[in-house]
Amino acid sequence: MFTGLQPTAASLHIGNYLSAIKGVLALQETHECILCVVDYHAITVPYDPAQLYQRRINIAAEYLAAGVDPERVTMVVQSDVPEHVELAWLLGCLVPVPKFEQLPTYKDKKARYGSAGFGLLAYPILMAADILIYKAEAVPVGKDQQPHIEFAREVARRFNHTFGPTFPEPHAEINAGAYIPSLDGQGAMSKSSGKGTLNLSDDEATIRRKLARAVTDPARIRRTDPGEPTRCPVYTLHGCYTPQPELEQIAAGCRSAAIGCLECKRLLADEVVADLGPLAARRAALLAHPDRVREILAAGAKTCRPLARQTLDEARHKMGLS
Ligand code: SF4
């Protein structure tokens, strides 16, 4: 299993936690896992170099605080294994440019930032190389990243067809909590937009305040107005935390106006605080002594480089480069 998360914010948010991190926690029981802090991806859009290094440490600390076991999961920083980039170059030579331009993330980010560098265009081939260099078969991702996994599968097929069987075709492992909407109602919760997020670094008061301000079903203007929970981001989060019988009561209470939004949000805040509070304490303890995190990442690079080198040498040989 391979998964990567970009260090594009000071902290991961609850959407990352409920999709990617929970996916890793489940898979670490059954798979050989590589968890990668993909810093080369983070520099494909405007960023602050003064913050990038610390963000790499933060993200690793958050995975550990959430329960990732470094004895079972290899944690590594992408730029510590430069073989990823060389494989991306080899694979990129097989893909026509329009294939890159069609991917939704490229179009979205190009629109958001007003222009796009080569790194943003090439992002999916580097992501394919990240996965294929370890011959990973399972990749836990959010639904928005599914087209990139399809792209990686296609790249593997092209390479295998042209140069002989080399790469397994990876498949996406979509977690049930994969789509977490932004609390401001503007699409999915996103690190890079930084708006409408519940962060793993938030304390209890911040979590409660953010949830109290979250948008709800626009039809519920007054307490007595009936609502439709499926239009409400608060309800989506309830779906990740609240047991089924209580969830059904909330849905029925929303539709009949028996429950108000304040009460509904308070119930959710209690669940989220109970889950994220201990995680935030472990995160703070790890960041107070970051040498342990650095050691884990350095050990990860030591493990990953020979694996990556082996695949790269195989690909180079099949392509006539050695
Ligand atoms: S009662 Fe709950 S689910 Fe319904 S609109 Fe309000 S916050 Fe959303």
Best residue for ligand 1 mutational test, from 213, 259, 262, 263 (most atoms within 8 Å of Cβ): 259
Distance 21 CA to ligand 1 centre (A): 27
209 and 168 in one domain? no
Neighbouring-strand partners of residue 140: 173
What CATH code is carried by the domain that includes residue 60? 3.40.50.620
Tell me whether residue 273 is in a domain.
Answer: yes
160 and 63 in one domain? yes
Nearest atom within ligand 1 for CA of residue 217: 5
pLDDT of residue 256: 97
Angle formed at CA 246 by CA 245 and CA 250, multiple of 5 degrees: 120
126 and 23 in one domain? yes
In whole angstroms, give the CA distance from residue 216 to residue 231: 7
Q: How many Cα atoms sit within 13 Å of 246 on the Cβ side?
A: 11
Average pLDDT over every residue of 141-166: 92
Give pairs for 60-63: CB < 8 Å, separation 24+: 60/293, 60/296, 60/297, 61/283, 61/286, 61/287, 61/290, 61/293, 62/11, 62/12, 62/17, 62/21, 62/200, 62/279, 62/283, 63/21, 63/24, 63/35
Best residue for ligand 1 mutational test, from 211, 215, 216 (most atoms within 8 Å of Cβ): 216
pLDDT digits (tens, 9 = 90+) for 251-277: 999 999 999 999 999 999 999 999 999
307 and 217 in one domain? no
174 and 220 in one domain? no
Tell me whether residue 199 is in a domain.
Answer: no
Contact present, 106 and 98 (Cβ < 8 Å): no
Distance 241 CA to ligand 1 centre (A): 15
What CATH code is carried by the domain that includes residue 217? 1.10.240.10
Residue 202 Rama label (left phi>0; alpha psi -120 to 50; beta): beta
Q: What distance lies between CA 236 and its chain's CA centroid? A: 18
Which of 4-18, 72-86, 157-171, 175-189 is predicted least confidently?
Answer: 175-189
In whole angstroms, give the CA distance from residue 172 to residue 163: 25
Tell me whether residue 78 is in a domain.
Answer: yes
Distance 12 CA to ligand 1 centre (A): 25
277 and 133 in one domain? no
Neighbouring-strand partners of residue 33: 73
pLDDT digits (tens, 9 = 90+) for 209-253: 999 999 999 999 999 999 999 999 999 999 999 999 999 999 999
Total domains present in the chain: 2
In whole angstroms, give the CA distance from residue 293 to residue 59: 10
Tell me whether residue 62 is in a domain.
Answer: yes
Q: What range defines the domain where residue 227 resides?
A: 204-283
Distance 57 CA to ligand 1 centre (A): 37
* pLDDT range class, residue 290, cuts 50, 70, 90: very high
Query: Would you list the DSSP string of 273-320?
Result: HHHHHHHHHHHHHHHHSTHHHHHHHHHHHHHHHHHHHHHHHHHHHHTT
Tell me whether residue 77 is in a domain.
Answer: yes
305 and 159 in one domain? yes
**Site of tokens 């002989």:** 164
164 and 78 in one domain? yes
Distance 279 CA to ligand 1 centre (A): 26
Best residue for ligand 1 mutational test, from 221, 235, 238, 265 (most atoms within 8 Å of Cβ): 235
* pLDDT range class, residue 177, cuts 50, 70, 90: low
48 and 117 in one domain? yes
pLDDT of residue 193: 67
What are phi and psi for residue 3, nearest 5 degrees? -145, 150
Tell me whether residue 189 is in a domain.
Answer: no
150 and 14 in one domain? yes
Tell me whether residue 143 is in a domain.
Answer: yes
In whole angstroms, give the CA distance from residue 286 to residue 57: 10
Contact present, 151 and 124 (Cβ < 8 Å): yes
31 and 46 in one domain? yes
Distance 211 CA to ligand 1 centre (A): 11
126 and 36 in one domain? yes
Position with higher pLDDT, 15 vs 164: 164
Tell me whether residue 190 is in a domain.
Answer: no
Residues with CB under 6 A from ligand 1: 216-217, 220, 227, 229, 232, 234-235, 254, 259, 261, 264-265
